[in-house]
Amino acid sequence: MSTWEKAKAQMEVTAGKAVMKSAHAMGKEKLAAKGGALQARGKARNLKEQGKDKLH
């Protein structure tokens, strides 16, 4: 996994967590769902890159 892709995936997970927690605190459930989606996208990107590493 390239360092940049790994960092990008981790940034998405971290940003998603932050958005989700702050949105829950403000009572904005739609924004919290978007944060959860961002977090899931980061996790999926991380899994994809790990799969690519195992093939090489």
1-56 pLDDT, tens digit each: 578 888 899 999 999 999 999 999 999 999 999 999 999 999 999 999 888 888 87
* Side-chain-facing half-sphere of 21: CA atoms under 13 Å: 6
Contact 38, 15 (CB under 8 A): yes
Fill in the DSSP letter of residue 56. Answer: -
Q: Which of 8, 4, 2 is nearest to 45 (CA)?
A: 8
Instruction: Output the six-digit token pair for 41.
Output: 């996208």
In this prediction the pTM is: 0.83
